[in-house]
Amino acid sequence: MEIERKWMVNHWPDESSGLSLIKEQHMRQGYISVHPTVRIREEAVTGSPIEYILCFKSSGTLSRKEIEFPISKEQFTQLEDLIGIPLIPKTRRVYQLPDGLHLEVNLVDEGMPTAFMYAEIEYESEDQANTWVPSSPWLGQYLQDEVTEDPAQTMGAFWVRTRLNGHE
């Protein structure tokens, strides 16, 4: 089960945030289906080998069932070819929050007119997600534009708007 909240942001956390960068990942992802979500992703933490993932997600906003399987590079390449349109590039930086949670900040389509940023925090339970509050004024200001319950702000919806429309 994936339980996460999502916010639109417009920059990476800087030194004044007091947050420590844990890791940076580079990804490319594409969708075989958005209802239900069936996604492929190529991802690598900076300095580590590339991994290839096949992911299934149920419908939902705050909570969704998520099943992920590692796949081979060859399987990924075959599925990417089946999709037949450019995948979405994404850079993710993961920051340690004072309460032990992780803030994942994502830059999507860097350098393109469709570029945007968002942040997510994953939780252990819906109760934890619903009662969580930012630990500092900086974080509260940074996470002021919550879009968790807006289905138009999912990566699947972004895929349809920017990749699928016009390529069907």
SS (H, E, C) 34-74: ECCEEEEEEEEECCCCCEEEEEEECCCCCEECEEEEECCHH
pLDDT at 90: 98
Q: CA–CA separation, 76 vs 87, rounded Å?
A: 12
pTM of the full structure: 0.94
∠54-151-13 over CA atoms, to 5°? 80
Residues of the chain with pLDDT under 70: 166-168
Token duo for residue 139: 């974080």
Q: CA–CA separation, 162 vs 168, rounded Å?
A: 12
pLDDT at 67: 97
- Kindly list the structural domains of the chain, giving each domain's residue range(s) and its CATH number in brackets, ordered by start: 2-164 (2.40.320.10)
pLDDT at 152: 93
pLDDT at 166: 61
Token duo for residue 62: 């705050």
Task: Please report, for residues 154, 157, 159, the alpha-carbon distance to residue 37 in angstroms, rounded to integers and kept in the order given.
Answer: 11, 10, 11
Amino acid in position 68: E
In tens, the pLDDT along 78-114 reads 999 999 999 999 999 999 999 999 999 999 999 999 9
Residue with token string 């252990």: 124
